[in-house]
Chains A and B, each alone.
Chain A
Amino acid sequence: MTSEIAVIGAGIIGAACAESLSSEGLQVVVIDAATAVGTGTTAAGMGHIVVMDDSNAQFALTEYSRRLWNRLAPELPRTGEYEFCGTIWVAAGDEEMDEVRRKQAFYDGRGVQCEILDERSLRKAEPNLRKGLAGGLLVSDDSVVYQPCATKFLIDRAVSNGAKLRLGKKVRVVSDDGVRLEDGEFIAVKKIINAAGIGSGFLDGGLNIIKRKGHLVITDRYPGFVSHQLVELGYLKSAHGNRQDSVAFNVQPRITGQILLGSSRQFGIDDDRIDHRILGRMVKRAFEYMPGLRDLSAVRAWTGFRPATPDNLPYIGLCPEFKNVYLAAGHEGLGITTSLGTAQILTDLILDRPPKIDCEPFSPFRKVEQAANG
């Protein structure tokens, strides 16, 4: 049976696309250079499913996608470790509390459940946060997933819907008729989805995907030390950041009782090795919010590369210069969250149905404009 659609990349984005397309009866082939699914950027992330209000477009995509995750949650296996732990955006001082109130109004007006916490209720919710933090915003429907297993679940589902999986195969060239692999094999398909993340730019030289290196550390098991994903409001400054290295307090409780600590962003680095200086900065930042972290045992640390676009919104849609090639790449630090929404949008576009949210802001054509404005 020949495939109709090739999905390049078996990370969370490719997996979600494969699952979504194959569940509509389309013949899909998923291709990845790695020998296992979800072992690249996907494996390195935090698995935080979070609504973000950085822009209307980002809000629309994250909120839509979060709804799809929450709907999928009961079907995930136990190994997917789906937890509705919620997010608390932590305000250190009064200026950040203004931001908390702004956020609350924004979310409230758009049907996202959230609650303002003052200093006392913040400490009640998270006793290990230091005294003197002004408060925060609790977004209770945010969740956490163990994304390597969720990725495998989506791929397995796609395969059981008839999709084919070609691992250990690197794609060399993409054209409107199909993909050519490095070993010379040509796979003829009707449509192609480039979901290759940090590798996506190689397949279409025009893409402006930059790598943003991040570090994470995970501790031994300390159940009950933290209950919600805690993110400092300054996270957004870091995520938006221009060209500077930055760290932000971002802590996640895993179902195992381990604590996952992030986050850092660095530009223009190809080296995937741990940089102790920025790792140290990141951990020090965390102590400023949770001093009790000092004594916890750090068991592993790793790095990952977020694929970022110049305006921090992903490319979702038909690729310029092609008739049959679509892009689903450049999700920066929101790949896990927005994977399901991305997949659904692409499926709708391919099947000529109106997507559920406005996807103009994600149009790959906008990159042409950016280059023109350069």
Chain B
Amino acid sequence: MEPVTLSINDKALTVPGGITVASAVLVSGASFFRRSVSGSPRGPLCGIGICFECRLKINGLAHRRSCQVIVEDGMKIETDEQN
């Protein structure tokens, strides 16, 4: 599949096409996906879309389970690491 260019926290990244957003974020070296309700760092756990730990803001829409979303060209991905 064609590689895809997207941004993670405003940093551009090119990744293989057909992979999940969760994998793309992990491949970029980040492991801090979201802050838990008491502020601790969290990343994916179950890999199959039932734990909700991998939630990220994708193209402005919050709480998307990144392990269930395939990367697309121009995608804007925001993790909680910057907050």
Q: Do chains A and B touch in the complex (CB under 8 A)?
A: yes
A202 interface contact, C-beta 8 A: no
- Determine if A295 and B37 form an interchain contact, defined as CB atoms under 8 angstroms apart: no
A295–B37 Cα distance when bound, in Å, is 21
Number of interface residues of B (CB under 8 A): 4
A222 contacts which chain B residues (CB < 8 A)?
62
B27 interface contact, C-beta 8 A: no
- Determine if B63 and A297 form an interchain contact, defined as CB atoms under 8 angstroms apart: yes
A256–B37 Cα distance when bound, in Å, is 8
Q: Which of A222, A295, A297 has the most CB of B within 10 A?
A: A297
Smallest CB separation, B80 vs chain A (Å) = 12
B1 interface contact, C-beta 8 A: no
Q: How large is the interface on A (under 10, 10 to 19, 20 to 34, 35 or more residues)?
A: under 10
A220 interface contact, C-beta 8 A: yes
Smallest CB separation, B25 vs chain A (Å) = 20
B62 contacts which chain A residues (CB < 8 A)?
220, 222
B37 contacts which chain A residues (CB < 8 A)?
221, 256
B1-53 interface (Cβ within 8 A of A): 37
Contact with B along A229-251 (1 / 0, CB 8 A): 00000000000000000000000
Smallest CB separation, A220 vs chain B (Å) = 5
B41-74 interface (Cβ within 8 A of A): 61-63
Contact with B along A203-241 (1 / 0, CB 8 A): 000000000000000001110000000000000000000
B61 contacts which chain A residues (CB < 8 A)?
295
Smallest CB separation, A343 vs chain B (Å) = 33
Smallest CB separation, B74 vs chain A (Å) = 20
A220 contacts which chain B residues (CB < 8 A)?
62-63
A256–B36 Cα distance when bound, in Å, is 12
A256–B38 Cα distance when bound, in Å, is 11
Smallest CB separation, A276 vs chain B (Å) = 22
Q: Which residue of A lies closest to B55 (CB)?
A: A220
A221 contacts which chain B residues (CB < 8 A)?
37, 63
Q: Which residue of A lies closest to B60 (CB)?
A: A295
Q: Which residue of A lies closest to B52 (CB)?
A: A220
Smallest CB separation, A106 vs chain B (Å) = 40
8 residue pairs from A and B, CB less than 8 Å apart: A220-B62, A220-B63, A221-B37, A221-B63, A222-B62, A256-B37, A295-B61, A297-B63
Closest 7 CB pairs of A and B: A220-B63, A297-B63, A295-B61, A222-B62, A256-B37, A221-B37, A221-B63
A sample of 5 more A-B contacts (CB under 8 A), given A221-B37, A221-B63, A295-B61, is: A220-B62, A220-B63, A222-B62, A256-B37, A297-B63
